[in-house]
Amino acid sequence: MIIEFFINSCVFITSISVLSIFFKDKILISKSSTTIREKLFIGMIGGLLEILLILFPIKVMPDLSINFHALPIILSSIYGGTLSTIVTTVIINVLFYLIFRFSIVSIFFLVINLFLAIGFIFISNTKTTIKNKWVYSTLYSLVVSSIGSIILIKNTQLLVQFLIIYYLNNLLLTYFVYKFMEHLSKAFEAYRTLRTEASIDFLTGLNNVRQFNKSLHRISIAVQKKEEIQYLSLIFLDIDYFKEINDKYGHGSGDIVLKNLANILTNTCRAFDIISRNGGEEFSVLLLNCPTADAIQVAERIRQNVEAYSFHISNKTTIHITISIGVSTYPSLTNNIDNLLSDADTALYKAKNEGRNKIILYKGNSLQNGFNRYNIVP
């Protein structure tokens, strides 16, 4: 019996480990975060897991054996939701029908599994912790299975012995699986946190400079191959006199300005434009399929929105800021896409030196005002 229990444990842990590889970004977060296709897949995995468990039953007495057919349904309900539970239950019932055909046994297990599925669906949809869902589902499965055992086993002494062995094995394996799922959840949460911190600026929620560089490299390759993207414009901007804001009002106020500026950029640009905080008070916007004239229009819209915005840095203090902007476009202005960033930076540097609060457009080896407030310079 110990060897058979060990085999069942290995089946569970191996199946969960394989499943978690495909769903490490979702399955251990929330069942609502998975797509319908993923829910169906989780339900199918639960059904296949049940097939494996039936192949390795635990013989406790000469004519009696146990398996953990409720546990795959619990996993499907907690981590996949209603649809996954239904799929797993259907697979299990079809399996019992194929084994026992249309008989009292198959009908009996059909009813038991339906009661289990209904109860697990109800528990999985209650607003409580994952731990409580495991506890409630386990207790419910023991009650339903006990009722089934009482109906099938007429010998009282044999029934008591069977239930004791079943309870011990079921509780032990369920606890083992729960702790393993808890371990996976913490491990993948740490993975997701590290991955987010590696690509997202902690203060503004925008892409950080690492993610900006990765995006620029990926898009540059696509542009050169003419894969859907024909033009690539880069807006590089910097907050004017930001150091004075920090010195006068404190770094906390400076952080408020940065957060609000990030919101302005997000609300001004298109949803698929790539907005990043490149460091300090420097921000960038990668404009996909955006020729020079349109890029300058976007830059001017950003400049105007920032200039008009009231930054509330405290209950009694409101300030206004301006930004300087450099713009470069490949291939119409910048011949070498590898120089797109440096060209925009050069244009930004000139905008800062020529009085700030303006847009400078990089054009070949020359720099010119990209916008004279109302009209694009030809």
Tens-digit pLDDT profile for residues 77-127: 988 889 999 999 898 888 777 776 777 767 877 888 899 999 999 999 999
List the alpha helices (DSSP H) in the chain. 2-23, 36-55, 70-80, 82-100, 104-124, 130-152, 156-199, 209-224, 242-249, 251-268, 292-308, 340-353
Any idea which of 98-112, 270-284, 303-317 has the lowest mean pLDDT?
A: 98-112
Q: What is the pLDDT of residue 333?
A: 84
C-alpha–C-alpha distance, residues 330 and 342, integer Å: 12
Residue type, 44: M
Q: What is the pLDDT of residue 121?
A: 94
Whether 230 shows a pLDDT value over 60: the answer reads: yes
Select from 371, 370, 223 the least CA-distant residue to 289: 223
Mean pLDDT, rounded, for 345-350: 93
Mean pLDDT of the chain: 84
C-alpha–C-alpha distance, residues 9 and 148, integer Å: 24
Output DSSP code: residue 155: -
Q: What is the pLDDT of residue 369?
A: 56
Q: What pTM, to 2 d.p., does this model score?
A: 0.60
Half-sphere exposure of 202 (CA within 13 A, CB side): 5
Asked if the bond preceding 57 is cis, omega within 30° of 0, the reply is: no
Q: What is the pLDDT of residue 32?
A: 54
Helix (H, G, I), strand (E, B) or coil at 102: coil
Asked if 134 and 74 count as a contact pair (C-beta separation under 8 A), the reply is yes
**Looking at domain 2-199, which CATH architecture does it have?**
Orthogonal Bundle (1.10)
Mean pLDDT, rounded, for 51-77: 78
Mean pLDDT, rounded, for 361-365: 74
C-alpha–C-alpha distance, residues 263 and 85, integer Å: 41
Is the four-CA dihedral 130, 132, 135, 141 of positive or negative sign? negative
Helix (H, G, I), strand (E, B) or coil at 18: helix
- Domain ranges in the chain are 2-199, 209-369
Q: What is the pLDDT of residue 371?
A: 44
Q: Which residues are catalytic?
A: 281
Mean pLDDT, rounded, for 277-302: 94
Question: The domain 209-369 is classified under which CATH number: 3.30.360.10, 3.30.70.270, 3.40.50.2300, 3.40.1410.10?
Answer: 3.30.70.270
